[in-house]
Structure formats: C-alpha cells, structure tokens
Amino acid sequence: MRTQVAIIGAGPAGLLLSHLLHRAGIAGVVLENRSRATIEATIRAGVLEHGTVALLNATGVGARLAREGLVHEGIELRFGGAGHRIDFAALTGKAITVYPQHEVLKDLIAARLADGGDLRFSVADVRLEGVGTEHPRVHCTDAAGTALHIDCDFIAGCDGAHGICRQAMPEGVPREYLRIYPFGWFGILAEAPPSSHELIYARHDRGFALISTRTPTVQRMYFQCDPAEPAERWSERQIWDELQARTAATGFSLHEGRIFQRGVIAMRSFVCEPMAHGRLFLAGDAAHVVPPTGAKGLNLAAADVALLARALDAHYREGKRGPLEAYSAAALARVWRAQHFSWWMTSMLHRFDEATEFDRRRQLAELDLVVSSRAAATSLAEMYVGSPLA
Ligand code: RFL
Ligand code: PHB
C-alpha cells in the first residue's frame, strides 16, 4: 500500500490531523491499536480552548459541539473557604467550552468515515522503518490478521505518551525532560445536577479539588490523591466527604449522586525535543504531557496538528520545505508556555507534603495576588482560554 501521510494513533491529534489533511487534499491512513468502541468510550479531558473550538467549527466538525458544548466565560478559584471568579470574557473577550474529548473523537471519526477516510482500528505490532530516509515505511497487522506494509512520504506519530513512534528516533537524538509529581487525581463521574455554573479549582489544606461538569445530569470531579491509590478502596461516602471538605464555602452546596465511573490519573510534565526527525513528525502526547490542572493536553494536540497540517500543505502545494523544518521549534514554543502554565497552576493549587508553613503562606499569597490584581488575573485568563491556532 502507498499513501502520502501515515498517521499512527486515532486520538485527538491523529484524527484531527487526518481530517485537516483530507481538507487540504492530502491522502493518509490512520493506524490505531484500540477498537473504535474503546476510543469512543474512554473518559479524558473536557475543556476546549477558544482556538480549538474555532478550528473545529471552521473545518466543519463543530455542529454537535455548538449544540451540546457548554460555554464558560470564567472559572472560580476557591481558597480559604471563599470563591473568587476569574472573568475570561471581561479579561480576554474569550471563553472556553466544556465538551468531552471522546465526543470530539466521535465527531471526527464520523466526519472521516463520511468523507471516505481510511481509518484502521484494532491494528497490532505497528513498526516504523527508515524515518531518517526519503522513503519511510510502516508495517503492522490489521484487525483481520493481515500484514500491511505502507510506503509513505511522511509519518505522523500521534500515538500518545506510551506510543512507539518516539522510540523510532535514533538513540541520543531526542532530549527528554520529565517531572513526576508526588500526587495524582482521583476522578469521578456522578449522576447529579451541576453544583456550579463554572469550574471550581479549589485549594485546601487537605489537597486540591476540581468541580467540573459534563451535562445537566452528569458531573465530573477530581481530588488530589496518592498516585498509587487503588480507586476501588474508596467508598462513595468517603469520596463525597473528601470533595465536600475541600470545596466547602459559605452559601455553597455540592450536589451528590451515584458515582458511575472512577479512576486515578498520574501527574507528570514531559517534553521530547525536537518533535521531528527526518520524515517522522510527533504531535500531541507522543511528544509532550502536561498535568491536567491547566486543561491543556487536548488543546496542545490540536495546536500541534494545526501547525503540522499547514506545513504539509505548504510542502505538497508549493514544494516548500521550510514550514516542515520549522514545525518542531514552532510547536515547542507553545508547548513550553503550556508546560509552564500547567506546572504553575499545579504548584499553586496542590498540597505538597514537604511544604513548610512558609510555603503554605506563600502559596496563599500567590492565589491572593491572582484574584486581586487585574494584571495577574488577565495573565491566567489569557493562558487558560489559549492563543489562536495556526
Ligand atoms: P491520545 O489521546 O493518547 O491518543 C493516542 C492514540 O494512539 C494509540 N496508540 C497506538 N496506535 C497504534 N499503534 C501503537 N503502537 C499505539 N500506541 C498508542 C492509542 O490507543 C490512542 O488512541 O493522544 P493525543 O491524540 O496526543 O491526545 C492527547 C490527549 O488525549 C491528552 O493530552 C489528554 O486527554 C490528557 N488528559 C487530560 N487532559 C486535560 O486537559 N484534562 C483532563 O481531564 C485530562 N484527563 C488525560 C486525562 C489523559 C489521560 N491519560 C493519557 C491516561 C485522563 C487520562 C486518563
Ligand atoms: C474536566 O472536565 O475533565 C477537566 C476540566 C478542567 C481541567 C481538567 C479536567 O483542568
């Protein structure tokens, strides 16, 4: 088989890239090792930046998002038992949209299939060959057990944090930066009405908590926990007690309900630099991971592939190599800014066991500055809503 771009991974990065390339008249195939049903049912991120929403709308996959997405014009920072609103609309003129990642994936998969896209789910043993040459190849076994050999011009490594593409770079070429946080997030989905019309990021001496939402009847919440915590060990009562304690504020009541999904997420910051080698281009979690406190993971994946699709378009349409050569540096500029923001939100809102009383007071002073200085609040708001995509 021969194609222009072989895309490894059908997460947000791979599917959106496939969609953008199709719109530019560039042929591709997507190879994904999980099944379509699994992908469409995996619960992950929920916040779409202004620019991500604009890109989905501009490329014809925003209809359901426009109907079902929840537009939020601010968030609340809660500490010392009181809430403080960061007003995105007033500070930036922009908003974010709460719309689950797997719903974005459903919309992209439906659009690709309607456009006759070549998506191969449940493939196994994906292997890359010759990424440093002019003739890269991808080998795998498809869902029916047939061996596939794909000659292509380029490979897009969109296979997430645990993928194989990054390893196809020669040893010693990529430099990797890693920070592991000494805590995780306990995440739940519960059948309950919303407790707040905007997200609440709460800092408490017991640890961080986040109140998010999904639909008028389903809520998403998280609280800081031991990263090795077995999620089953917590009773529903213990979970609600922890969330209640950490989000308590005058006049606020957290609505409880049946918890039907739970899991513990590890927290780390990771960057692989450069994000390209020869004819292999990495995008999304394959190249970088952020802790979820800044809601940037999915949005960074979208930003990467917007750049990559434009660079590939310049290559095929105008024979220009420059944008592809500039891809890694351009993507990394945004990645490092998001790394900083995600680390900063994490450090400002979480409990660190080794923290001294001085650290605790400094953390509260930082929050106090963010909610009382318009300049500081604007900085947070600008990063949260995100800058425009390519
Ligand atoms: P993805 O979504 O991980 O997609 C990669 C895809 O590649 C497939 N794959 C392979 N396919 C073929 N061959 C191989 N050898 C392969 N190896 C892997 C995988 O099956 C998968 O389908 O990466 P992508 O596209 O870069 O998108 C990134 C986002 O998914 C990610 O940044 C966010 O979801 C991160 N994240 C969260 N971000 C937030 O902003 N807010 C959140 O609440 C949030 N929760 C989460 C998360 C990530 C999680 N992970 C990775 C475990 C919760 C979890 C549990
Ligand atoms: C979510 O709704 O899942 C969510 C929202 C904001 C975050 C992380 C996750 O920072």
Nearest by Cα to 206 from 236, 241, 258: 241
Q: What is the percent of the chain where pLDDT is above 70?
A: 100
What's residue 45's pLDDT?
A: 87
Q: Alpha-carbon Rg of the chain, whole angstroms?
A: 21
Counting ligands in written order, the one closest to the CA of 44 is 1
Task: Say whether domain 5-70+99-177+268-347 belongs to CATH 3.50.50.60.
Answer: yes
Task: Give the atom of ligand 1 at the shortest distance from the alpha carbon of 140.
Answer: 13
Q: Is the CB of 36 under 6 A from ligand 1?
A: no
- Substitution site in 212, 261, 380 for ligand 2 pocket (most atoms within 8 Å of beta carbon): 212
Q: How many residues does the chain have?
A: 390
Catalytic residue, from 99, 181, 201, 327: name it. 201
* DSSP code string of 372-387: H-HHHHHHHHHHHH-P
Counting ligands in written order, the one closest to the CA of 221 is 2
- Give the pLDDT mean for 251-257: 96
- Give the pLDDT mean for 119-148: 98
Boundaries of every domain in the chain: 5-70+99-177+268-347, 179-267+352-385
> How far is residue 94's CA from residue 273's CA, in Å, rounded to a whole number?
31
- When pLDDT is cut at 50, 70 and 90, the band that residue 94 belongs to is very high
Q: Is the CB of 45 under 6 A from ligand 1?
A: yes
- Give the pLDDT mean for 118-146: 97
What's residue 25's pLDDT?
A: 98
Beta strands 258-273 and 175-191, pairing class: antiparallel
Strand partners, 28: 5
Strand partners, 369: none
Q: Is the CB of 295 under 6 A from ligand 1?
A: yes
Out of 3.30.9.10, 3.40.50.300, 3.50.50.60, 3.10.20.30, which CATH number does the structure's domain 179-267+352-385 have?
3.30.9.10
Strand partners, 201: 77, 210
Residue 260 pLDDT greater than 90, yes or no: yes
Q: What is the percent of the chain where pLDDT is above 90?
A: 99
Q: Compute the distance from residue 147 Cα to the ligand 1 centre, in Å.
A: 26
Q: Is the CB of 220 under 6 A from ligand 2?
A: yes
What's residue 342's pLDDT?
A: 98
- Substitution site in 96, 203, 213, 220 for ligand 2 pocket (most atoms within 8 Å of beta carbon): 220
- Give the pLDDT mean for 1-10: 98
* DSSP code string of 224-280: EE-TT--GGGS-HHHHHHHHHHHH--TT--PPP-EEEEEEEEEEEEEEEESSEETTE
What's residue 390's pLDDT?
A: 81
- When pLDDT is cut at 50, 70 and 90, the band that residue 12 belongs to is very high
Cβ neighbours for 48, distance < 8 A, ≥ 6 positions apart: 56, 65, 69, 96, 97, 98, 99, 104, 298, 299
Q: Is 181 a catalytic residue?
A: no
Query: pLDDT tens, 191-228?
Result: 999 999 999 999 999 999 999 999 999 999 999 999 99
Q: Is 174 a catalytic residue?
A: no
Q: Compute the distance from residue 214 Cα to the ligand 1 centre, in Å.
A: 19
- When pLDDT is cut at 50, 70 and 90, the band that residue 150 belongs to is very high
Counting ligands in written order, the one closest to the CA of 296 is 1
| Contact in structure between 20 and 290 (CB atoms under 8 Å) | no
Nearest by Cα to 334 from 345, 342, 344, 323: 342
| pTM assigned to the model | 0.97
> How far is residue 142's CA from residue 122's CA, in Å, rounded to a whole number?
7
What's residue 172's pLDDT?
A: 92
Residue 97 pLDDT greater than 90, yes or no: yes
Terminal alpha carbon distance of the chain: 31
- Give the pLDDT mean for 364-372: 98
Q: Is 327 a catalytic residue?
A: no
Q: Is the CB of 342 under 6 A from ligand 2?
A: no
Catalytic residue, from 19, 22, 72, 315: name it. 72
Q: Is the CB of 8 under 6 A from ligand 1?
A: yes
Query: pLDDT tens, 263-309?
Result: 999 999 999 999 999 999 999 999 999 999 999 999 999 999 999 99
Q: Is the CB of 45 under 6 A from ligand 2?
A: yes
Q: Compute the distance from residue 277 Cα to the ligand 2 centre, in Å.
A: 32
Q: Compute the distance from residue 101 Cα to the ligand 2 centre, in Å.
A: 10
Q: Is the CB of 48 under 6 A from ligand 2?
A: no
Q: Is 384 a catalytic residue?
A: yes
Residue 115 pLDDT greater than 90, yes or no: yes
Strand partners, 288: 271
- Give the pLDDT mean for 243-257: 97
Q: Compute the distance from residue 46 Cα to the ligand 2 centre, in Å.
A: 5
Q: Is 100 a catalytic residue?
A: no
Residue 1 pLDDT greater than 90, yes or no: yes
In order of 121, 155, 325, the CA distances from 151 in angstroms are 19, 10, 21
Query: pLDDT tens, 160-181?
Result: 999 999 999 999 999 999 999 9
In order of 138, 148, 191, 228, 364, the CA distances from 293 in angstroms are 36, 40, 23, 19, 17
| Contact in structure between 74 and 198 (CB atoms under 8 Å) | yes
